[in-house]
């Protein structure tokens, strides 16, 4: 082989390497055993952080120089492409997992944090929160009727009407049976509890002894 043929062969070799579809570093290791050549082809991708990539074995090709010259690239084209895609997918999978963890952490923080910062609370909302805080404190002390009275009116907070009605119902359920009924006025109760004074009637009615006989009047 003359110099021109040698240069053409080298140029052709690297052109075919460049035509391969892969990302990363393509390592070729050659070993000579007499007339036979053994070529180890291993694709590595430092961008892939998955430790499982270490388990991908190299592609081993054996043959004479002429056999390898004719069949080397046809033999490695598809395996190199498949390995490159595998390493890329592994890295994308890891990035996807990391992104999922971040999103999950962000959602968790959203749940733990209030919907609005304290500085964004309107005076009306502040009044509502303070009232509900009083309700909670009174309920904790067992003062259910007082707590019921402190629950804001649903007409003032129509967007929270269902919540407020439910809170009132739960407090009402803890009242003693006679606490929620309408109390009778004290005067009415006294009238009902007062028995007729029979002594006055006894004094006013004449006794049989006090009635004169008809003969005595004559």
- The 10 Å Cβ neighbour count of residue 134 is 15
For 19, the token pair is 């035509």
Total count of residues recorded for the chain? 218
Give me the residue spans of the domains in the chain: 3-109, 116-179
Q: What pLDDT shows up at residue 49? A: 81
Looking at residue 100, its pLDDT comes to 82
How far is CA 96 from each of CA 23, 24, 89, 99, 106, rounded to the nearest angstrom?
19, 20, 10, 5, 15
Q: What is the pLDDT of residue 202?
A: 44
Nearest Cα residue to 39 out of 64, 14, 8, 21: 64
What is the pLDDT tens value at each position of the chain, 218 positions in all? 554 555 555 558 888 988 998 988 899 999 998 889 999 999 888 888 878 778 888 889 999 999 998 899 999 999 999 988 888 888 888 888 888 888 777 766 666 555 555 557 888 888 999 999 999 999 888 888 999 999 999 899 999 899 998 899 888 888 765 544 444 434 334 334 434 444 444 444 455 455 455 444 44
pLDDT value of position 213: 54
Cα–Cα–Cα angle for 128, 130, 134, rounded to 5 degrees: 115
CB 80 within 8 A of CB 41: yes
C-beta of residue 35 within 8 angstroms of C-beta of residue 64: yes
Q: Which one, of 60, 63, 72, 73, lies nearest residue 34 by Cα?
A: 63
| Token output for 1 | 């082989």
pTM: 0.39
The Cα 135–Cα 152 span in angstroms is 9
Cα(169)–Cα(147) distance, integer angstroms: 11
């Amino acid at each position: 082989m003359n110099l021109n043929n040698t240069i053409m062969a080298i140029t052709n070799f690297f052109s075919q390497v460049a035509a391969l579809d892969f990302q990363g570093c393509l390592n070729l290791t050659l070993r000579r055993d007499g007339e036979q050549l053994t070529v180890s082809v291993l694709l590595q991708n430092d961008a892939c952080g998955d430790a499982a990539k270490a388990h991908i074995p190299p592609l081993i090709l054996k043959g004479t120089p002429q056999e390898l010259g004719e069949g080397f690239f046809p033999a490695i084209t598809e395996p190199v492409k498949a390995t490159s895609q595998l390493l890329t997918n592994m890295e994308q999978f890891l990035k996807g997992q990391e992104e999922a963890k971040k999103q999950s952490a962000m959602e968790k923080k959203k749940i733990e944090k209030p919907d609005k910062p304290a500085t964004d609370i309107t005076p009306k909302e502040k009044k509502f929160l303070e009232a509900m805080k009083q309700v909670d404190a009174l309920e904790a002390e067992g003062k259910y009727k007082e707590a019921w009275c402190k629950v804001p009116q649903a007409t003032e907070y129509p967007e929270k009407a269902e919540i407020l009605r439910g809170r009132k119902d739960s407090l009402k359920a803890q009242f003693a049976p006679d606490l929620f009924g309408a109390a009778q006025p004290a005067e009415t109760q006294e009238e009902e509890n007062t028995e007729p004074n029979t002594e006055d009637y006894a004094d006013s009615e004449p006794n049989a002894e006090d009635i004169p006989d008809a003969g005595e009047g004559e």
